[in-house]
Structure 1
């Protein structure tokens, strides 16, 4: 295994751990928002910090990998590649559902929203999480397409 492959695997493990951490941290909050529609939801500073830290770790690993670590082409099996492509789409379903609930739940109440600064901070947190999940889904998709892209490049060079 090359040093590039080792770096890639380590970055993907940390990205996946950060994504799982985000899902496990956000899901109880998401469930609370869904089951208690119409009620103000208090998210503890610990939960907010944990979500931001998880998203920042995911972002850091993603951009390090994107900039300096090439994606290996590990899978020859088309079924495995398709499973990775499927996983990339599924991983973003949760982000879309979260955004939809927050948007449709809170946009009608903009006249009662917290101060501009608090609202901006919350909006930035949601966008950071959504962008992090989007980047993670792109990473999984690139992994699924790696052999396909590699094969296409080989076919053109012949």
Structure 2
């Protein structure tokens, strides 16, 4: 029940304002909604920092180690030997892992091959436990790294 005619709105309904005027209601609204834009801004900044960090990690840990390898040719010499010719480009000496597989894709031989810095073409033979069906350069890494 309104205490005085001034507590009625223009349509005659009782006003819902708290005693003491509209100021208290505004403070309540600020308290209720005022922190959300600030929290949103903090979330937006955190998302930006996360995105920049993720991008830096992809660039840093990507396979851009500066070593490029390409198989030129491979052949099966006999039931216990296969050979491969491949090219490696690197600024530092590298160690390449060469693997031979049989028809069931089971590894039948492997060999570490040391290659000097620069662009080099290398031919190597791999001893196998049975006849190989395929030979590949599995990886090349700069010496002294675990990549």
TM-score above 0.5: no
The structure with the largest alpha-carbon Rg is: 2
Per the normalisation by structure 2, the TM-score is 0.23
Per the normalisation by structure 1, the TM-score is 0.22
